[in-house]
Amino acid sequence: MAVQAFQQFELTDPLMRGLGKMGFQTPTDVQSKAIKPMMEGGDLIVQAPTGSGKTCAFGIPVIEGIDTGNDRIQTLILCPTRELAMQTTAVLQRLAIFKKGVRILAIYGGESIERQILGLKRRPQIIVATPGRLIDHMNRRTTRLDRLKLVVLDEADRMLDMGFRSALNTILDAIPGERQTVMFSATMPREVRQIAKEYQRNIRQISVEQEHMTVDTVTQFHTMVEKKKKDATLVRLIADEKFALSLVFVARKHRAKDLARTLNANGIKSAALHGDMSQPQRDRAMAQYRSGEVAVLVATDVAARGLDVKNIDAVINYDIPQDPESYVHRIGRTGRADCTGVSYTFVMSDEVGQMRTIMSVTNAHVPNIELKASEAFVSGKSGGAAAKQAKAEAPAAFERYLKEPYREQPGRVRPSAGRRRKRAR
């Protein structure tokens, strides 16, 4: 159990054992800066990039502070999406595995509210919730927050971006004024500062330096591509590299559906993940992806928030991220658990400035490479016999591509054809 570095926080034995079981060795930067102040009980604003270890930065104090003899809701953690709520709940459960009597419940849209009501009747001390579904329970009077001691707003900027400002006001106005309020946010826009001004007191601000906003385990590339050739270029890239699992990010939910359909028409088993899907549909898509039944998941940023899947070989930004934080979040889905990964970003001519900003802020080396379009490409809108024929011919056509020599272009870098995921040394 190599967790001695966490002894500086004077944690109890059950939590230390939980950290040891999870394989923790040393705290991340945000954990080193935030855990002790949070345990001291003051209001905090913590600015930290995605992938910095923030869930445990607040999760450790949350579990440590739970009074197992009290069956009231003591801590509320608000998350922007159901995926992040589920992921956060899983981390908390692992941290609390040796602390008997801790009960944690996730409540989010898309799941049976009756099942959640049964869970609330078991008197959890920790609720991890999305704002909309929590308000549903508040209106039904199926949850009481009158004894709340701590509220955590995780990814506060993302919740505001998604239009949850009114919901956050409703929730924060309904809980006791004498409480600890902690906000974690990758960025600090005006609305986040306004929430802090209205609902926090004697705020302590903690920041993880921007230069840490990078993903060292991911080999990164970008390629210039015309809009009309994006689909065919994506098909060729996936076919050539033969990734076991890849994650493709798009900007709009309609694009997720259309692109997944196009990939399937070209013989690449794919599924979409977007905000309009019901929970059973999302669960089915994720089960297919985790099992390898589908090789490609095409997702929007909101739908993929909190996505935690091991062994993703590549992240492909079909649509360029709008900001460096989103870029880091996206490519951080690969290169996890001591493995290396690769990312590709498609850049159109009017997006060069955005790509330069991403490289500058993240301090990342993202060389420009040339990727070719598939000659055997068929549009996903083609139906009937054409689509069936494309699916039948695609594997053979892709094998032909693998035998063609790649022609180097001046000033371009070609990723090694033999490179595959491997354990980082």
What single string gives the DSSP state of each residue in 172-189? HHHS-SSSEEEEEESS--
Q: Identity (one letter) of the amino acid at 326?
A: S
Specify burial of residue 69 (Cβ count, 10 A radius: 0-12, 13-18, 19+): exposed
359 pLDDT above the threshold of 90: no
Residue holding tokens 């909190």? Answer: 306
pLDDT at 7: 87
Question: H or E stretch including 341?
Answer: strand 341-347
Q: Which of 182-196, 203-217, 276-290, 326-340 has the lowest mean pLDDT?
A: 203-217
Mean pLDDT computed over 323-343: 80
**Contact of 94 with 22, CB cutoff 8 Å:** yes
pLDDT at 397: 39
Same fold, 4-211 and 215-403: yes
Greatest alpha-carbon pair distance for the chain in Å reads 69
pLDDT at 399: 40
CA distance 412 to 409: 5
pLDDT at 301: 79
Q: Which of 43-52, 233-242, 268-277, 370-379 has the lowest mean pLDDT?
A: 43-52
Mean pLDDT computed over 306-329: 83
Of the chain, the percentage scoring pLDDT greater than 90 comes to 54
Residue 324: pLDDT band with limits 50, 70, 90: confident
**Contact of 149 with 180, CB cutoff 8 Å:** yes
CA distance 186 to 159: 11
pLDDT at 51: 63
393 pLDDT above the threshold of 50: no
Side-chain half-sphere CA neighbours of 407 within 13 A: 1
Residue predicted with more confidence, 360 or 41: 41
Domain covering 215-403, topology? Rossmann fold (3.40.50)
- Signed CA dihedral, 226, 231, 236, 237: sign only: positive
Mean pLDDT computed over 186-201: 90
Distances (CA, A) of 65 to 16, 129, 303: 14, 19, 31
For the chain, domain boundaries: 4-211, 215-403
Mean pLDDT computed over 83-100: 91
Distances (CA, A) of 271 to 138, 257, 292, 311, 342: 35, 8, 11, 17, 20
Number of Cβ within 10 Å of residue 161's Cβ equals 17
- Nearest Cα neighbor of 206 from 362, 63, 29, 324 is 29
pLDDT at 304: 65
pLDDT at 305: 62
Residue 395: pLDDT band with limits 50, 70, 90: very low
111 pLDDT above the threshold of 60: yes
Crossing angle for the helix pair 82-95 and 54-65, to the nearest 10 degrees: 50
Q: Which of 57-66, 167-176, 223-232, 372-381 has the lowest mean pLDDT?
A: 372-381
Helix, strand, coil abundance in the chain, percent, nearest 5:
45, 15, 40
Tokens of 308: 């935690």
Residue 422: pLDDT band with limits 50, 70, 90: very low
Using DSSP bridges, classify how beta strands 218-224 and 104-107 pair: parallel, antiparallel or unpaired.
Answer: unpaired
- Nearest Cα neighbor of 6 from 75, 82, 57 is 57
Domain covering 4-211, topology? Rossmann fold (3.40.50)
Side-chain half-sphere CA neighbours of 18 within 13 A: 22
- Nearest Cα neighbor of 151 from 132, 133, 139, 169 is 169
- Nearest Cα neighbor of 239 from 112, 90, 394 is 394
Q: Give the predicted TM-score (pTM) of the model.
A: 0.59
> How far does Cα 287 stand from its chain's mean position?
17
261 pLDDT above the threshold of 90: yes
Q: What is the Rg, in whole angstroms, of the alpha carbon atoms belonging to the chain?
A: 23
Crossing angle for the helix pair 165-174 and 131-140, to the nearest 10 degrees: 40
Mean pLDDT computed over 189-214: 83
